[in-house]
Amino acid sequence: MSPAELDAAIARVRASRDRGVRWLLAHMDPDGKPVGADERNGWARAPWALAVCGESDAATRMVAWAERGQLSPDGGFAPGPAFGTGRFGAYPLAHLAIGAWLTERFGTALKAMDALRRMQDPMTGGFPIAPVENRATDIHDLLSTAQAGLAALISGQDDIADLAWRWISDLVAAQPADAGTRFYTFRQGETLMIEPPQQLEWLAITDFSRPRQTFYTPGMAAVFLAGYAQRKAIQEPLAIASRLLRFNIEGCDEQFNDPGSVQICKFGWGAAAMLVADPAGDWLRHVARMGDWFIEHQQADGAWAPSLFVSPEPSDVDRLIKTAEHVMEVNAILAALGTARGQ
């Protein structure tokens, strides 16, 4: 891209991010309570998104609101709408930990990290899809493990991050030689889950040759791996991240052009993280493409909605979840484009 093209892309992406931030601000009360909080937890990532976009006062108000009744004494979510069923509970708790850290609510952040530490399998490093009391199921997933690992990197919890790195590198090494376009993202104990129960199949196996799959897993892994490579000053995580993002790069066109699916979103975040960690790599074109993808999928009021084939009639809570996520991802793309402009 020429400097002028890059400047234009930066302006477009910044405007998109700011529209999303305005939607988030309009959907929280003055005391920090987010829309739909009495129904379910759609807010865990919102403080993180607001903080990185310069709205630290709003982010702090939301974390303080959560501290007043949404968190348990052990650092996790309190029973009720905040905790929900606890299924895949490490994922949103890691979001909250990052938001608390970025707003300098360090006590809350570290208590959340302690709760995550108790969830993590001390042998494999994976994070369970079920609450800790159901650990007998022993099923761990890539999305939760990479996200919790990222929270550990940000908050300086090297023991959690090191175990997450081990789990992810073992998962990638265990992929079958004949997997082709399929990527297996669950492990049960130390074993790669190749034949998951039917209710988990869509989450545990991504086939990049088919539409409407869980295309986001390589991107989430790449974000953690790019950060871990920088933290440890080693190259192996970057090589694994590059290998994983090839699934998206070489996958079906429907990842990007299916109007009913936003499952590709984390590819943009992962490519942005790699552009920062591996500037000699061929990442800029993917980051720029995903910046335009986010703009194309943004609604007129600034919000983003989940995949229509998953949520055909999304509520404001659904939009809160996706808008907080996409605002954060768009901000990461903006930062990566700015890094490229400065080179």
Query: Residue 141's CB: how many other CB atoms inside 10 A?
Result: 25
What pLDDT is recorded for position 39? 96
What are the pLDDT digits (tens) for 5-64?
999 999 999 999 999 999 999 999 999 999 999 999 999 999 999 999 999 999 999 999
Cα separation values, 341 from 238, 275, 279, 286, Å: 22, 12, 11, 15
In the chain, where the domains are located: 3-341
| pTM (whole model) above 0.85 | yes
Question: What is the band of 342 on the pLDDT scale with cuts at 50, 70, 90?
Answer: confident
What are the pLDDT digits (tens) for 266-302?
999 999 999 999 999 999 999 999 999 999 999 999 9
Average pLDDT over residues 91-116: 98
| Amino acid type, 131 | P
Q: Specify which residues 66 forms β-bridges with.
A: none
Alpha-helix residue ranges (DSSP H) falling in the chain? 3-26, 46-52, 56-67, 90-102, 106-119, 142-155, 158-173, 201-204, 217-232, 236-249, 254-257, 265-277, 284-297, 316-341
- Topology, domain 3-341: Glycosyltransferase (1.50.10)
Cα separation values, 291 from 296, 300, 315, 326, 337, Å: 9, 17, 25, 11, 9
Q: Is the pLDDT of residue 209 over 90?
A: yes
- CB under 8 Å to 8, separation ≥6 — which residues? none
Q: Is the pLDDT of residue 257 over 80?
A: yes
Share of the chain above pLDDT 90, in %: 96
Average pLDDT over residues 207-215: 98
What pLDDT is recorded for position 341? 84
Q: Which of 232, 258, 285, 265 is nearest to 331 (CA)?
A: 265
In terms of C-beta density within 10 A (0-12 exposed, 13-18 middle, 19 or more buried), how is residue 2 classed?
Answer: exposed
Cα separation values, 308 from 263, 313, 334, Å: 10, 7, 26
What pLDDT is recorded for position 138? 87
What are the pLDDT digits (tens) for 113-144?
999 999 999 999 999 998 876 555 689 999 99
Determine how β-strand 139-141 pairs with β-strand 186-188: antiparallel
Give me 243's structure tokens. 């290998």
Average pLDDT over residues 135-164: 94
